Copies of this chain bind each other. A is one copy, B any other.
Amino acid sequence: MNLRAYDALVSTFTRLYRYQHLGSIVGWDQAAMMPPKGNAARGAALAELEVLMHQTLTDPSLPDLMARAVDEALDAAQAANLREMRRDWRLANLLPARLVEAKSLASSRCEHAWRTQRAENDWPGFLLNFDEVVKLAREEAQCLSQHTGVGRYEALMDKFEPGARSADIDAIFGEVKTWLPGMISQVRDKQAGETLIALQGPFPIAQQRELGLELMALLGFDFSAGRLDLSTHPFCGGVPEDVRITTRYNPDDFMRSLMGIVHETGHARYEQNLPRDGVHLPVGRARSMGIHESQSLSFEMQIGRNPAFLALISPLLKKHLGDQAAFDATNLAGLFSRVKPGFIRVDADELTYPAHIILRYEIERALIDGEIEARDIPALWDEKMMAYVGLDTRGNYKNGCLQDIHWPGGSFGYFPSYTLGAMYAAQYFASIRQTQPDFETRMAAGDLSPLFDWLATHIWSQASRWETRELVQRATGEALNPQHLRRHLAQRYLGA
């Protein structure tokens, strides 16, 4: 009996999944556990694993197997799996080895130097390395674009958000720009007249951790299949069978760490609830970065900052951090929805965050498509920050265009995922509200299960079975519709 080509592919991709397991755990260890002197050997071990995974995905037998598998009698799930395998193969095989290596070298050099250049506000120094990174990213975009038939920038975006098209993002972000700056001003005016009771710190780290663990449990995190640890940059790592989330604590500010934990718990529950039978196959993994963010933001924005949820956890804050009037439910809702335009994306509140993303999207798209050069970035940054957020960033590269690791590291096309995630999340909850108009009452009473059931049914259990557009259509009955984010923001911040 002949082995089907499809089965041979399943065996190769299962092996790849095992290698990824090793890489994920060792990568988590590097961020959360490893002492500093382990770094060089760790880097070498992870690089060796990269080589191995690349060899596996560029094995010369794969094209023939994939071609034969198309003609085999595959069921719908197997066909979807083959689609995802082909995508992985494309991403590993389309770029010439010379370009992959040059990109890796240029972006490590640029990112390494950026760590000091940012602190020193040194844009001209940064540009010396960054020009090469941009040149190679354009080559990559050109190469991917030729093979896939999509535009250059969208070929990069497709790596993170399969199927996303610039024309759609242009239309969506263009529409947001028509109302967001006005809404920010309106909310700022409204909040200027509201007085909130200030928090009285410090908040000891051990208590913050206990509070975080209790919230994770409330949000359904499975501690028999995951952990919470510390790292400089919080993330969700590990493998679906064993999800590792991290946070960092600041004794003077528990709010960021708390919402960070809620955010990562959203990512974690998606991973923990991917269907177990296919988790080792490409079709069994999380759909995309945008859909992943839609889970973390469902948890952080739709649930975590919801006044009903804050009412529910108000007693927990008092229990772990000590009783103070600032922890009363109404005041807490005020604190967690305070809008304050700022320079830094990762510190931005829910309302101004999309402005930071749209600005980056417009700049990186023009840069990759060759409409601007790297040297033009600061002027554009200043202009857009003034227009969208109302802040003057001239000469302040450090808190302006030098603030993110994405560009020095050569990651172009990732930023839109953040705001697409916020939009998907708002759309899910609009859909939930239709069938469960009382979900906030139940939430305040501690019953979050209807929300988790909805996410499990429509998103988590679906993994990569559908392309993103169809996943969202099936879940909510319509394609991505940014009006849901607008309504959510207007409702939360203007009571409209």
Contacts and interface: CB of A to CB of B under 8 A. Distances in A.
Given A15-B48, A26-B22, A48-B18, A37 B224 contact: yes
Contacts of A26: 22, 25-26
A255 interface: no
A48 B16 CA distance: 10
Contacts of A37: 222, 224-225, 241-242
A240 to B, nearest CB: 8
A226 interface: yes
A45 B21 contact: yes
A35 interface: yes
Given A38-B241, A239-B41, A227 B33 contact: yes
A192 B35 CA distance: 47
Interface in A23-59: 23, 25-26, 29, 33-38, 40-42, 44-45, 47-49, 52
Contacts of A29: 25, 29
Interface residues of A, number: 35
A225 B44 CA distance: 16
Contacts of A239: 38, 41
Nearest to A33: B227
Given A41-B242, A242-B41, A48 B19 contact: yes
Contacts of A49: 18, 22
Interface string A368-401: 0000000000000000000000000000000000
Given A21-B41, A41-B21, A227 B35 contact: yes
Contacts of A224: 35-37
Interface string A201-243: 0000000000000000000001111110000000000110110
A247 to B, nearest CB: 16
The listed residue with most B CB atoms (<10 A of its CB), out of A34, A226, A227, is: A34
Contacts of A52: 52
Contacts of A42: 21, 25, 241-242
A224 B33 CA distance: 11
A68 to B, nearest CB: 25
B48 A242 contact: no
A384 to B, nearest CB: 43
Interface string A335-348: 00000000000000
Contacts of A279: 41
A243 to B, nearest CB: 9
Nearest to A52: B52
Interface string A439-465: 000000000000000000000000000
A142 to B, nearest CB: 34
A35 B225 CA distance: 5
Given A26-B25, A29-B29, A52-B52, A18 B35 contact: no
B38 A18 contact: no
Nearest to A242: B38
A29 to B, nearest CB: 6
A275 to B, nearest CB: 14
A232 to B, nearest CB: 16
A455 to B, nearest CB: 20
14 contacts: A21-B42, A21-B44, A21-B45, A22-B49, A25-B29, A25-B45, A26-B26, A35-B223, A35-B224, A35-B226, A38-B242, A41-B242, A42-B242, A52-B52
Given A18-B44, A21-B41, A33-B33, 8 more contacts: A21-B45, A22-B26, A25-B45, A26-B26, A33-B227, A35-B242, A36-B225, A42-B242
Interface of A: 15, 18-19, 21-23, 25-26, 29, 33-38, 40-42, 44-45, 47-49, 52, 222-227, 238-239, 241-242, 279
